[in-house]
Amino acid sequence: MGRVILNRILGSIPVILIVTLITFGLMRAIPGDVSAALGGVSSTLAERELIRKNLGLDQPWHVQLVKWYSGMARGDLGRSIFLGKDVTQATFERLPVTVSLSIYALVLTLIFGMITGVLAALRQNTWVDQASMMFAMVGVSMPNFWIGLMMIVFFSVQLGWLPTGGYVPFFQDPWGWLRSTTMPAVSLALLQIGLLARITRSTMLEVLRQDYIRTARAKGLPNYLVVCKHALANTMIPVVTVIGIIVSLLISGAVVTESVFSIPGVGQLLTSAILNRDYPMIQGGLLFVTLLLVAINILVDVAYAWLDPRVRFEGG
């Protein structure tokens, strides 16, 4: 088990190295020159030189690279031009908002995705199955920002039930938090619910065909034990591996959803950085989120190893 974790962490080092290199290269790959893009067409050469100097782009690239990594070691991912703040600081300020929204959406995904998938598998080839899979197909096909907009039109503008946007921190007003995050979380979760329902269904069908399910029935176990214990425990194992993908989709989906619902999270930080051409912010934010996801994926793999006794007690 310890070896599994260690291997996983060591294995992700090259990935992290290349990820940081790619992000480093990103801002330097701007066609023409970043100073021209930032300063505008009318900017003078001197102004552009100043911008380059401020961003450290006037130095030779190997110096820039050393600075990039030494900064990263100190948790410094650069400085936002527009906000006048460190990227790390700005991101950390916004992080709780995105995390609370993502956790809400993840909870919705796990509950509804698993239930839909399990029900569809247990009632295979009935109307329950077909309706569930139709719902899942619609879920994976609808653009989440569009669902969000349509929900605003319907629930906020037409019915006036929920606010059109904004964010209330959970610890300040839980009810207000729920009102402000329910539509974003639902629109964000829909894709993942569809995805998870489809995966849960096919895994569950596979599991239900296994010999040990027949054994459980042959022992005279009641149906609920066969399904909820023997089948579900084995279905969970592959489903856990998908959670990493789901979290990744949730976080990238949150970028768009936050912009739709004017929620001041990391996603909105990034989208406003795009509009303001705040390249250091885009670069740093992208790296921050990606490293966060790499870490989450390591955790997921550890959870997977722990769930499956064949891995947990590797070597007997």
Partner 1 sequence: MTILAVKNLRVMFKTEHGEIAAVDDVSFDLKQGEVLGIVGESGSGKSVSALAVMGLLPKPPARIAQGEVWFEGENLLHYTDRDMRRIRGPGIGMVFQEPMTSLNPVFTIGDQLMETVRVHQKVGPKAQRDRAIEMLARVGIAMPERRIDDYPHQLSGGMRQRVMIAMALICNPRLLIADEPTTALDVTIQQQILELLLDLRDEFKMAIMIITHNMGVVAEMADRVIVMYAGKIVEQAPVNELFARPVHPYTRGLLDSIPSLDDDRDRLKTIPGTLPRPWALPPGCRFQPRCAFRVDACAAAVPPLVSVRAEHESACIRQDELVAS
Partner 2 sequence: MADGVATMGSVPARAADPKPRSAAWDALRRLLRHRSFQTGLFLFAIILAAAVFAPLITAADPNKLAMRARFKPPGLDHWFGTDNFGRSQLARVVYGAQLSLMIGTAVVIINAVFGTLLGAISGYFRHLDNVLMRVNDAIMAFPAILLAIGVAAVLGRSMPNMILALSIVYIPRTARIVRSSVIVIRQMEYVQAAVAAGAGHWRILRRHILPNSMAPLLVQLSFLFAYAVLTEATLSFLGLGAEPPTPTWGNIMAEGRQYMREAPWIIAIPGAALAITVMALNLLGDGLRDILDPRLRIQQ
**Residue nearer to partner 2 on the CB measure, 165 or 225:** 165
- Whether 52 and 40 have beta carbons less than 8 Å apart is answered as no
- State the minimum distance, in angstroms, from the CB of residue 302 to partner 1: 17
> Tokens representing 237?
């194992």
Helix locations, the chain, DSSP H: 2-28, 34-39, 45-55, 61-73, 87-122, 127-141, 144-151, 174-208, 211-218, 223-225, 232-260, 266-275, 279-307, 309-312
Which range in 54-62, 139-147, 227-235, 307-315 contacts partner 2 by CB under 8 A?
139-147
**Residue nearer to partner 2 on the CB measure, 177 or 231:** 231
- Whether 163 and 179 have beta carbons less than 8 Å apart is answered as yes
- Whether 227 and 285 have beta carbons less than 8 Å apart is answered as no
Please tell me whether residue 282 binds partner 2 under the rule CB under 8 A.
Answer: yes
Out of 225, 274, 291, 302, the only residue in the binding site for partner 1 (CB under 8 A) is 225
Please tell me whether residue 19 binds partner 2 under the rule CB under 8 A.
Answer: yes
Q: How many residues bind partner 1 (CB under 8 A)?
A: 25
Out of 234, 259, 283, 297, the only residue in the binding site for partner 1 (CB under 8 A) is 234
Site string for partner 2, 167-206 (x = CB under 8 A): -----------------------------------x--xx
Please tell me whether residue 212 binds partner 1 under the rule CB under 8 A.
Answer: yes
The secondary structure of 274-300 as a DSSP string is HHTT-HHHHHHHHHHHHHHHHHHHHHH
Please tell me whether residue 175 binds partner 1 under the rule CB under 8 A.
Answer: no
- Whether 267 and 256 have beta carbons less than 8 Å apart is answered as yes
Check residue 84 and give left, alpha or beta (phi > 0: left; psi -120 to 50: alpha): left
Please tell me whether residue 210 binds partner 1 under the rule CB under 8 A.
Answer: yes
Please tell me whether residue 168 binds partner 1 under the rule CB under 8 A.
Answer: no
Task: Count Cα neighbours of 213 within 13 Å in the Cβ-side half-sphere.
Answer: 17
Site string for partner 1, 49-68 (x = CB under 8 A): --------------------
Please state, in angstroms and rounded to a whole number, the distance separating the CA atoms of residues 8 and 304: 12
Cross-strand pairs, 86: 79
Please tell me whether residue 221 binds partner 1 under the rule CB under 8 A.
Answer: yes
Distance of CA 26 to the CA centre of its chain: 21
**Residue nearer to partner 2 on the CB measure, 1 or 15:** 15
Task: Please state the φ and ψ torsions of residue 296, each to the nearest 5 degrees.
Answer: -60, -40
Q: Which does 128 bind (CB under 5 to 8 A by kind): partner 1, partner 2, none?
A: none
Please tell me whether residue 313 binds partner 1 under the rule CB under 8 A.
Answer: yes
- State the minimum distance, in angstroms, from the CB of residue 223 to partner 1: 8
- Whether 249 and 206 have beta carbons less than 8 Å apart is answered as no
Q: Which residues bind partner 2 (CB under 8 A)?
A: 14-19, 21-23, 26-27, 29-31, 37, 137-138, 140-143, 145-146, 149-150, 152-153, 157, 202, 205-206, 248-249, 251-253, 255-256, 259, 270-271, 274-275, 277, 279, 282-283, 286, 289-290, 293-294
Interface residues toward partner 1, by CB under 8 A? 210-212, 214-223, 225, 229-230, 233-234, 237, 307-310, 313, 316
